[in-house]
Homo-oligomer: A and B are copies of this chain.
Amino acid sequence: MARTRQRTPNEVALIGRHTQQRSVVLAAFIRADGFVGAQALHSQLAADGTPVGLSTVYRTLTRLADAGRADLVRDPGGERLFRYRPGPDHRHYLICTECGLNRPVDSGPIEDWADGIAQDSGFAHVRHTVELSGVCPDCGRAPATAERR
């Protein structure tokens, strides 16, 4: 039992050196449990009393995504939204454009479809992006009065 400092999710190891900031960012990111933008996470951290530089938040999220520990989508406004992903498989989500509620969908069919296309096309390294968005039942019920974002 080596006595290594354990107070941080070992995920940090995957993206380089272990630092206070990374622990904090990662913890908040996981806690967010949904898609978050770097800006939002940065604000959240400040609110939590554990401020971290915006640059660092960006760097951390980007690295996580590169390391395959986060799913990434584009906000209609062009903002990058990240979502923590514990497992190795990527997922696809149905996101409510009104409240942000999101739920993973059964994407088996598209995965197969995409694989088929890749196969037949002759293209190599075929990757795919699939995003579903709409208005969730709750937001659909309450008219335009629904809470904004």
Cβ A129 vs Cβ B127 within 8 A = no
Question: Which chain A residues in 71-119 approach chain B with CB under 8 Å?
Answer: 74, 78, 80, 94, 96-97, 103, 105-106, 109-110, 113-114, 117-118
Cβ B140 vs Cβ A133 within 8 A = no
Taken together, the copies of this chain in the complex come to: 2
A54 interface residue per 8 A CB criterion? no
Q: Which residue of B lies closest to A97 (CB)?
A: B125
Among candidates B94, B118, B133, residue contacting A134 with C-beta atoms closer than 8 Å? B118
Supply 14 further A-B pairs (C-beta < 8 A) apart from A105-B121, A121-B134, A129-B131.
A94-B126, A96-B123, A105-B117, A109-B109, A109-B113, A110-B110, A110-B113, A117-B132, A123-B136, A123-B137, A123-B140, A125-B135, A126-B132, A126-B133
13 contacts between A and B (CB under 8 A): A94-B126, A97-B125, A109-B109, A109-B110, A123-B134, A123-B135, A123-B137, A123-B140, A124-B140, A126-B134, A127-B134, A128-B131, A129-B131
